Chains A and B, each alone.
Chain A
């Protein structure tokens, strides 16, 4: 096709697509810089429809470390204890110690450098928002999304208490004081640094011949291949 025809054809295509997208607001989108760089410049597909505020409200349940997403509500340690014993303790134990292979929620402070670290909310988790978000979206296991905001605040307060982060049974957690609570291990995470910390793995030419004089077997699966007991076996959770 000739170059002079192109703008005409494009204009025609855009008009058709806008018609197709009638329920949507007019196409006045100004692409973000990142998008401009990576996305192909093409007219809107005119597919999908606007999400209604009620629909977004129904699904937008996530909570971030800065408190974005926290609903109004509050709950005390005492109230959290009651709910926990009723809804959570069967798996996680009365004090969050974990029954059987179910996750341990409390304790383990100071064990992260140990041979067998105990990673709990108190010893390992960086942000309290994650506790709220995860309980709210996924717990109790098998009956998710059944707790009210007040229930989740209360359970979160009880978990702070079990982890000795708050000491007072009357402590009340609310949307207002939520972001003031810091977890002990909050500063111990850093972004992936493999490209610098492991740069020796990018090496030009690995050894091909006479690379070592001696090879000895230092470990065998057959020796370890008894079904490991529930305490020492690795966990997937």
Chain B
């Protein structure tokens, strides 16, 4: 992964060299072309010859010119690629919906391949009637559609001690945002009938990690969805096909994939993924547990290290903001390292616990920039700086790093992940 990142600035530099002269005039119209453009004066192949027919791609894929838009991993992060993570290419995306095939993956024992006809969901424990559901049963229940972000608790976790990975795909790409279709968990629980002492649920996956997490019953009865579809089609295998939990606003680890069992109890289970992992060690040696909610966060995706500025004059700064506590109410952007801020323009749907797209249309004369974004949510929470977070938590809490990201744009447009004071 590092070699690719190191290579890309070279090609960017060539591009900037060519574009620089034309762009120097700044906001003025580009100079008159010196010679006619052969892309206009010559008849191109695609204008003369027939293209592929409608039967060429029963399930389409992106243009061959978009081959670089892929999930990437960082091999040294984990001991094994089957208990590992890869990253969504945020710098190549726009709007708020993540294409299903680009949604980052996090598995603890690889991708379980499950025939939906052979999948079962069991609900038992402190219920009146322990139940077994087939996928057919679940598809006969009242359905809902919701757009939510799924962010890994460890997103940006490698950045606690300082700027390390050069690209928002790697610093912020453990997040995706899709429309889920499924059944509210509260309907399933109503079928089983909760006992009065039901306080916690344990969700368990059917994969070889047997992923299990404890979920408070209040959340389960609020907005938790048991989903079988994403972005209009069945879940992808790597996203839990045929059934997964959707826990809006809460850390991704709770969104148990390949969901096969829900046990109802009166206390949390203290599973490995809520004791050894997904607990947040603070400087005094004690640890927070059950830090479920993902706080308000944002990142500028363009420009960013993998997407440098290519043109002087007019540019579009683009980014995403999200909050596990509600909706995004405002995003501010600075170009001078936090001396002065402006309100970004939020565009497109602003949904509960969903990615929200923002833009700043700006002119660039080639000066160095220190770009940051700062999200605010409907509870009044203001995204903190990394230093503000470190002051409370130290640098060893691994998870829940929602600190403000800084990109340094050099005068040639190259952009780097930096820390500032």
On whether the beta carbons of B186 and A217 are closer than 8 Å, the reply is no
Closest approach, in angstroms, between the C-beta of B135 and any C-beta of chain A?
11
Which residues from chain B contact A235 at a C-beta distance below 8 Å? 77-78
Which residues from chain A contact B124 at a C-beta distance below 8 Å? 51, 56, 60
Within 8 Å by CB of B340, from A30, A191, A209, lies A209
Closest approach, in angstroms, between the C-beta of A50 and any C-beta of chain B?
6
- Bound Cα distance from A127 to B289, whole angstroms: 13
- Bound Cα distance from A50 to B132, whole angstroms: 6
Q: Is A3 engaged at the interface, CB distance under 8 Å to the other chain?
A: no
Q: Is A6 engaged at the interface, CB distance under 8 Å to the other chain?
A: no
On whether the beta carbons of B79 and A102 are closer than 8 Å, the reply is yes
- Bound Cα distance from A151 to B171, whole angstroms: 41
Q: Size class of B's contact patch?
A: 35 or more
Closest approach, in angstroms, between the C-beta of A27 and any C-beta of chain B?
9
Known: A125-B276, A133-B272, A141-B80. A210 touches B289 (CB 8 A): no
Which residues from chain A contact B191 at a C-beta distance below 8 Å? 44-45, 47-48
As a 0/1 sequence over residues 170 to 194 of chain B, the CB contacts with chain A under 8 angstroms (1 = contact) are: 0000000000000000111111011
Within 8 Å by CB of A221, from B269, B381, B418, lies B418
On whether the beta carbons of A137 and B212 are closer than 8 Å, the reply is yes
- Bound Cα distance from A212 to B125, whole angstroms: 57
B128 nearest in chain A by CB position? A29
Within 8 A of B (CB), among A35-93: 35, 37-40, 42, 44-45, 47-51, 55-56, 59-62, 64-66, 68, 91
- Bound Cα distance from A60 to B261, whole angstroms: 9
Q: Size class of A's contact patch?
A: 35 or more
Within 8 Å by CB of A216, from B157, B188, B204, B421, lies B421
- Bound Cα distance from A26 to B302, whole angstroms: 59
Within 8 Å by CB of B272, from A25, A50, A130, A191, lies A130
- Bound Cα distance from A50 to B123, whole angstroms: 9
Most buried by B among A33, A208, A234: A234
Within 8 Å by CB of A190, from B141, B289, B420, lies B289
Within 8 A of A (CB), among B341-399: 341-342, 370, 374, 376, 379-384, 388, 392, 396, 398
Closest approach, in angstroms, between the C-beta of B202 and any C-beta of chain A?
6
Known: A62-B263, A225-B165. A34 touches B380 (CB 8 A): no
Q: Is B281 engaged at the interface, CB distance under 8 Å to the other chain?
A: yes
On whether the beta carbons of A225 and B281 are closer than 8 Å, the reply is no
On whether the beta carbons of A59 and B260 are closer than 8 Å, the reply is yes
Q: Is A178 engaged at the interface, CB distance under 8 Å to the other chain?
A: no
On whether the beta carbons of A51 and B132 are closer than 8 Å, the reply is yes
As a 0/1 sequence over residues 202 to 219 of chain A, the CB contacts with chain B under 8 angstroms (1 = contact) are: 111011111111011111
Known: A216-B421, A218-B420. A39 touches B260 (CB 8 A): no
On whether the beta carbons of B194 and A206 are closer than 8 Å, the reply is no
- Bound Cα distance from A219 to B340, whole angstroms: 21
Most buried by B among A32, A35, A142: A32
Closest approach, in angstroms, between the C-beta of A37 and any C-beta of chain B?
8
Binds A, one of B43-51, B59-67, B331-339: B331-339
Which residues from chain B contact A188 at a C-beta distance below 8 Å? 285-287
On whether the beta carbons of B131 and A236 are closer than 8 Å, the reply is no
Most buried by A among B79, B133, B260, B281: B79
- Bound Cα distance from A194 to B291, whole angstroms: 8
On whether the beta carbons of A133 and B271 are closer than 8 Å, the reply is yes
On whether the beta carbons of B380 and A202 are closer than 8 Å, the reply is yes
Q: Is A177 engaged at the interface, CB distance under 8 Å to the other chain?
A: no
Which residues from chain B contact A141 at a C-beta distance below 8 Å? 80, 83, 109
On whether the beta carbons of B384 and A39 are closer than 8 Å, the reply is no
Within 8 A of A (CB), among B68-96: 76-80, 83-85
Closest approach, in angstroms, between the C-beta of A45 and any C-beta of chain B?
6
As a 0/1 sequence over residues 167 to 194 of chain A, the CB contacts with chain B under 8 angstroms (1 = contact) are: 0000000000000000000001111111
Which residues from chain B contact A25 at a C-beta distance below 8 Å? 129
Closest approach, in angstroms, between the C-beta of A233 and any C-beta of chain B?
5
Within 8 Å by CB of B288, from A28, A193, A234, A236, lies A193
Which residues from chain B contact A215 at a C-beta distance below 8 Å? 336-339, 370, 420-421
As a 0/1 sequence over residues 222 to 237 of chain A, the CB contacts with chain B under 8 angstroms (1 = contact) are: 1011111010011111
Q: Is B154 engaged at the interface, CB distance under 8 Å to the other chain?
A: yes
Known: A31-B190, A60-B263. A225 touches B420 (CB 8 A): no
Most buried by A among B132, B260, B275, B383: B275
Within 8 Å by CB of A50, from B129, B194, B277, B382, lies B129
Which residues from chain A contact B270 at a C-beta distance below 8 Å? 64-65, 126-127, 129-130
- Bound Cα distance from A150 to B421, whole angstroms: 56
Which residues from chain A contact B416 at a C-beta distance below 8 Å? 220-222
Which residues from chain B contact A225 at a C-beta distance below 8 Å? 2, 5-6, 164-166
Binding site for B on A (CB under 8 A): 24-25, 28-35, 37-40, 42, 44-45, 47-51, 55-56, 59-62, 64-66, 68, 91, 100-103, 112-113, 117, 119, 121, 124-127, 129-130, 133-134, 137-138, 141-142, 144-145, 188-194, 197-198, 200-204, 206-213, 215-222, 224-228, 230, 233-237
**5 residue pairs, one from A and one from B, having the closest CB atoms:** A215-B337, A29-B193, A137-B210, A221-B417, A219-B419
Binding site for A on B (CB under 8 A): 2, 5-6, 76-80, 83-85, 108-109, 122-124, 128-133, 137-138, 140-142, 154, 157-158, 160, 162-166, 186-191, 193-198, 202, 204, 208-210, 212, 217-218, 221-222, 260-261, 263, 265, 267, 269-272, 275-277, 279, 281, 283-293, 295, 305, 332, 336-342, 370, 374, 376, 379-384, 388, 392, 396, 398, 408, 416-421
A-B contacts, 24 listed (Cβ < 8 Å): A32-B193, A33-B196, A42-B187, A48-B123, A48-B131, A62-B202, A62-B204, A62-B263, A64-B270, A65-B270, A112-B285, A144-B208, A189-B289, A206-B332, A218-B418, A218-B421, A219-B162, A219-B418, A220-B163, A225-B165, A225-B166, A226-B2, A234-B158, A236-B78
